[in-house]
Each structure stands twice: as C-alpha cells, then as structure tokens.
Amino acid sequence: MSLDQAATGPLDRLAAHLAEDMAAVNALIRARMASEHAPRIPEVTAHLVEAGGKRLRPLLTLAAARLCGYRGEDHIRLAATVEFIHTATLLHDDVVDDSTRRRGRPTANLLWDNKSSVLVGDYLFARSFQLMTETGAIRVLEILADAAATIAEGEVLQLTAARSLATDERVYLQIIRGKTAALFAAAAEVGGVIAGAPAQEVAALRAYGDALGICFQIVDDLLDYEGTGKTGKNIGDDFREGKLTLPLIKAIAHADGDERAFWERVIETGRQEDGDLERALRILRGHGALEAARADARAWAERARMALKALPENDTRLILAELPDYVISRIS
Amino acid sequence: MSLDQAATGPLDRLAAHLAEDMAAVNALIRARMASEHAPRIPEVTAHLVEAGGKRLRPLLTLAAARLCGYRGEDHIRLAATVEFIHTATLLHDDVVDDSTRRRGRPTANLLWDNKSSVLVGDYLFARSFQLMTETGAIRVLEILADAAATIAEGEVLQLTAARSLATDERVYLQIIRGKTAALFAAAAEVGGVIAGAPAQEVAALRAYGDALGICFQIVDDLLDYEGTGKTGKNIGDDFREGKLTLPLIKAIAHADGDERAFWERVIETGRQEDGDLERALRILRGHGALEAARADARAWAERARMALKALPENDTRLILAELPDYVISRIS
C-alpha cells in the first residue's frame, strides 16, 4: 500500500475522527512514561512510543467509548493503559525473540540491552495498572488484568510450541488469541464498559476486538512470508525461529515424506542452510497454504464486521466496520 | 544462625502465630499459579515458590491485618498478591543479573531459559493484579500498583548505577527503597488499609515496612561480602557484577590513590583477576566499611521498631517488634 492510499485509509479516518481524544492520550502517555529517578526509562520508552506505531489498540478503546456515547474522561486513561500494556509486551517480546528490528528501527534490546527492556517493560506494566486504577472502575480492572494474564499465557504457549511440528491450528488459535487478540478484545470491551453500555453491546465490542485481533495476527504471520520489507519486519524471521504460524501449519498438514523430513530438519532441529527459506516458500505455495491462510484472515474480518451489527449505528461504527478491510489490505 | 536457633526465631513465631492464614495463602498461591493452557508456567513457578522462601512479605500483610483487628478474608488475597509480585521480580532479577543460584538451587533462567523467566514473570504480575482486583479496594490497588512501579524504577536505577563509582549513599538508598523496601512497605500498609485502620496506624505500618525492607537489603548486601554460603547466594556476586552496594560505597568514599585505581579497574572497567575479591575485602575491612554498614542496618532496625509504637499493643505487634533483630542476626 502506498502512503497516499494509507492517508485515506480507514485507520487514518478513525484517527482523524478521534483526533482530539488521541491527542489527550498521547499527552498522557508522554507524561506517564517519565521517571523522576531513572532517566533510562523514558529513553527506552520514547524510542518505542515515538517510533510511530499505529496506535490501533488505544483507538479501539476511544472508538468503543465514543460509539456507546461516553462523555467522560476515563476512556483517555484506558486508551493510554492499553498502549502501555502493548508497549510493555513489545519490549519483552523482542527480548524473548532476540529481535533486532521493530517498526523499521533497531529494537531497544539491541540499542540498550535485554536487561533494560525487561525492567522498562515491567515499569510500563506497573504504570498501566496505576492508570487503570485511577478510573476506579473495578469491572474494567478485571478485564484488563485478565487480558494481561492471557497475553502472558499465550506467549508462554508460543514458546513451548516453537519447533514442535505437532502444533496444530487449534493450538495456533489459542496462541494468537492470547498474545494478540486478548488485548484487542479488552481494548474494545473496556470502552463499552466505561460508557455503561448494555451487556449485549459490551459483548459485541469484545467479539469485534477478538475477531479483529485474530485477523490482524494471521495477516502479520502471512507478512513474515510474503511481506515486502515495508512493514519494518525482517522477512523469514518466524521461519528462522522455528515459529509454527498458520501458513506453516497448513503446509505441514499436507507434507509428503520428503517435505516432512525437510520440516523436521529446518523447524524441529533448527539446522537451516542457504536456500531453505526459498524452498519453504515453494512448498507453502505448492500446497496453497498462503492462500488458505489469507482466506482464514478474510473470514475473521467478516466475523469482526458481523459483530458490529449489535451496536448503535453511527459514524464511529461505520469506520470500525472498515478496519478489518484495512488489516486485510496489508496482504492484498 | 543454626537451624535450632531459627526454629525458635521471631520469623517462625510469626509464621506459627499466623499459621492458619498462611496455609490459606499457600493454597491460594498454588491454585492461582496454575495455567490451563501453558504447563510451563506452573513448572517454573513451582520451582521458585516451593523452594522454601521465607514468605516474609505475605506474613507482613497478614500480620498488619491481624494487628489492626481485621476479620475478613481479603488479607489472604493481598498476601498472595504480594508473594506473586515478589516471585515475578525474582524471576526477572535473575535474568537481569544472569544469576545461577537462588535460595540454594539453580535459577529458573538456568533450568529453563531467560525467555521462560521473562514471560512467567509477566504472567505472575498479571495474576497478582487479578488477585488484588478481587478485593475491590481501590486504595489497596493504588498502593500495590505504585509499589510495582517503584520496584521497577529501583531496578532500572540499579542497572544504570552499576559500575559507576559516582554512586553514593543517597542513590544507594533510592535503589534499595525501590527494589526492596517498596514491597515491604506496601505489604504492611495494605494489611492496615484492608482492616480499615486509622491513617496514623496505616502510616506507621508503612514506615515499619520501609525501615525493615531497607534493613533487610543492607544485610543482604553485607552477606554478599561476608556470608557463609548457607544463604544460598554466591559470595562475591555483587562485586563481580560491579554492583555498588553500601560496603563498597563506604570504602570508595575513603579510597586513596592506589585503591581508587583498583576500584576503577575492577568495578568501572570490570577487568577482574584472581585475588581481586580478597583484596577488595581487605580494603573494606581496613576502612571499617563492613562494620559501618552493619551499624546502618542496626539503625534502620531501630527505626522499624520505633514505628510500631503508634500501633495497638498486642501479641502480633510484639512479634513484629522482634523481626528487625532476626534480620540483623543473619550478619551477627
């Protein structure tokens, strides 16, 4: 997608629609990522926060609150909370994955060290709990604390499933529901809860976030095999790390004897040679695994759109309904 | 201290005094450290939780609640919360310090890997926020979220102060107030808050925990230079890592030219040779740095005891008044 297309895309329309709220969120994030005593903290955090992430998750919170007619200020705190949780998990993920690039820039663990990334991540987690506590809304705290636990659970599951050819689509779904969709779902849900929306609408917001998050992660995993480098990720990272993502799982399910031996060598034992990524891509294409994963992503996008039907019809809902297509557009 | 002495020491008397509550805390910890989907989580957690830590921090919460006449059940949740936060920070500390031994056993990062320690630590942080949220007591959530942020801040400050000979006693106090005393203080304070104790008593509990925590960390740092190995720590770890702890800071403040050059080599540049630890110990003893640090620890123990005077006189307070001496007894 070119920059011109992006400038008129639904994510930009959502950001424009919520520009005033988002400015307040950004100001709150900058104020709260400071630390009087440990200057290393804002250095590391600024590197990541200012790198121009899409702020998709906090936008979900703001949009959900707006959609449900909220008129207070707590959605600003909750959106900042969600972005802090997200930033903390990015810092820890990059340590766990030994990543070197994020959002097109060197990662914090590369620029400083793993120690700083672990501890600054912990600081941001704590900051997020301070922020959400300020709302005094216990149901919101439950949802976000549950999401934080589910995220960590998904990450641990991913760690133990890595390099195991026994990882199937059911386990994959559980992993991405944890590591990605849990925060999308919680981000949307708390917007509804803080607005005092009826239970049916809150459930619809959660279902929307869940489906959008799953769609988002499937697309992200596809980009690891067919991205152009514009996303700021290194192509083939997941393959090199032996991560069992959807395209790989689908191809392995159809593997013949030779392919099975190949997957055992490159994924299970991790002994990779020049040309292995290219061979993996040929096998994936041969089994239609990339196309099948794209179809799954499209189905989740459709589920996200359907979930919105239970919500009040307004401008915000119209933009949210276009977001799944924006996510899909990254791979088409 | 021999095992016989320990069996009749104040910590055991406190544990016996609160045995029923502590059994409930341990049951809750075991129930909540489980994970339906990621079996790696309880494996890692059990390794640390079952290793026989002293449970000093949850005992503080239970004792504070009891001291203030609390009759509910939320102190059990809060004590488990405090132990989860502590366990999470231990997991992350051992990654940050590249530690190999903890409580006399190999560390989780050695038995599994750094990745598991980072993610399981995150899981326990999230679990701790779930647990505290169940109390529905916003003031308690504020105190514990603040403590979590202060802990991380103290750890980052310690990281950036490492190997810097400019680290003085003021910075040291800030570091240990963060990394250790903040949780002691919060653990005691929330016991009073949940009991609905008057502000003056809550403040006294906080002051007690703060002073006890500072005393505890000074003693811990002393043991790194004069421990016997019975504590399960490796002697000289802090020295090898270039950590500026109180004995070292006091010795450096009195260094002559030769000593200054020695500290610059072994601490600032980290170029250490055989015999350096022994030479460091000779210098520390020559300046009375170990004895001066012990005197500081004793002064904080006295401050902890004094803080208790604002609290109701009862059996629990009597045992709490003996705890500082127990902490000091580890180095005398």
| Nearest chain B Cα distance for residue A317, angstroms | 31
Ordered by start, the domain boundaries in chain B are 3-329
Residue of A32, A43, A119, A135 for testing the chain B interface, max B β-carbons within 10 Å: A119
Interface test with A, best of B77, B134, B159 (most A CBs within 10 A): B159
Considering chain B, what is the average pLDDT of its residues?
Answer: 92
Q: Do A160 and B126 touch (CB under 8 A)?
A: no
Min mean pLDDT across A92-96, B82-86, B139-143 is at A92-96
The DSSP string of A5-57 is HHHTSHHHHHHHHTHHHHHHHHHHHHHHT--SS-THHHHHHHHHHTT----HH
Read off the amino acid at residue A236: G
Shortest CA gap B236–chain A (Å): 21
The answer on pLDDT for B1 being more than 60 is no
B94, B115, B124, B131: which to substitute to probe chain A, counting the most A Cβ within 10 Å?
B115
CATH topology of domain B3-329: Farnesyl Diphosphate Synthase (1.10.600)
Nearest alpha-carbon partner for A117 in B172, A156, A125: A125
Distances (CA, A) of B172 to A268, B10, B240, B242: 47, 28, 18, 13
Phi/psi of residue B50, each to 5°? -85, 0
Which residues of chain A make contact with B159, given a CB cutoff of 8 A?
A: 40, 115-116, 119
Question: Of A39, A92, A145, which is closest to B118 when you measure between CB atoms?
Answer: A92
Contacts B153 to A, Cβ<8 Å: 35, 37-38, 41, 123
Q: What is the pLDDT of residues A150-176, one digit of tens each?
A: 999 999 999 999 999 999 999 999 999
3-class state of residue B332 by DSSP: coil
Q: How confident is the model at residue B2 (pLDDT cuts 50, 70, 90)?
A: very low
Task: Answer whether residue A36 shows pLDDT above 90.
Answer: no
| Chain B residue numbers touching A125 (CB-CB < 8 A) | 122, 125, 148, 152
Contact A40 B159 (CB under 8 A): yes
Distances (CA, A) of B200 to A80, A119, B197, B203, B309: 34, 34, 8, 5, 11
Contact yes or no for A129 and B130 at CB 8 A: no
Of B133, B155, B160, the CB nearest to A141: B133
**Quick one: average pLDDT of B110-139?**
94
Confidence (pLDDT) at A1: 39
Q: Please give the ipTM for the structure prediction.
A: 0.92
Q: How far apart are CA A85 and CA A147, in angstroms?
A: 10
- Per-residue pLDDT reduced to its tens digit, B226-281: 876 555 566 898 999 899 999 999 999 999 999 999 999 999 999 999 999 999 99
A178-197 average pLDDT score:
98
CA distance A213 to A308: 14
DSSP helix/strand/coil, B254: coil
Note whether A130 contacts B146, CB cutoff 8 Å: yes
Find the CB nearest B96 among A37, A39, A119: A119
Q: Do B123 and A92 touch (CB under 8 A)?
A: no
Q: Could you tell me which residues are beta bridge partners of residue A105?
A: A102
- Chain B residues with CB under 8 Å of A43 CB are none
Interface of A to B at Cβ within 8 Å reads 35, 37-41, 89, 92, 95-96, 114-116, 118-123, 125-127, 129-130, 133, 136, 138, 141-142, 145-146, 148-149, 151-153, 155-157, 159-160, 174, 178
A53 or A267, which is more confident? A267
Query: What is the average pLDDT across A185-197?
Result: 98
Q: Is the pLDDT of residue A55 over 70?
A: yes
The tokens for B217 are: 């960390």
Question: Which of A122, A129, A149 is facing B123, going by the closest CB pair?
Answer: A149
- Between CA B169 and CA B183 the distance in angstroms is 21
Cα separation, B59 vs B24, in Å, equals 12
Q: Are B117 and B94 a contacting pair, CB within 8 Å? A: yes
Per-residue confidence at B198, pLDDT binned at 50, 70, 90?
Answer: very high
Q: pLDDT tens, B146-167? A: 999 999 999 999 999 999 999 9
Instruction: For residue B138, give the chain A residue with the closest CA.
Output: A136
Query: CA A262: distance to chain centroid?
Result: 30
Residue type, position B166, single letter: A
Interface probe, candidates B35, B37, B157, chain A, greatest A C-beta count within 10 A = B37
Q: Report the relative pairing of strands A101-102 and B101-102 from DSSP bridges.
A: unpaired
CB pairs under 8 A between A and B: 137
- Mean pLDDT, rounded, of chain A: 92
- Nearest-by-Cβ selection for B148 from A37, A41, A129: A129
Nearest CA in chain A to B160: A40
Nearest neighbour of B133 by CB, restricted to A114, A121, A142? A142
Mutate to test the interface with B, among A153, A155, A170 (most CBs of B within 10 A): A153
pLDDT tens for A224-266 read 998 765 555 668 989 998 999 999 999 999 999 999 999 999 9
Q: Do B116 and A159 touch (CB under 8 A)?
A: yes
A55 or B234, which is more confident?
A55
pLDDT of A3:
37
Q: Between chains, do B130 and A142 touch, taking CB under 8 Å as contact?
A: yes
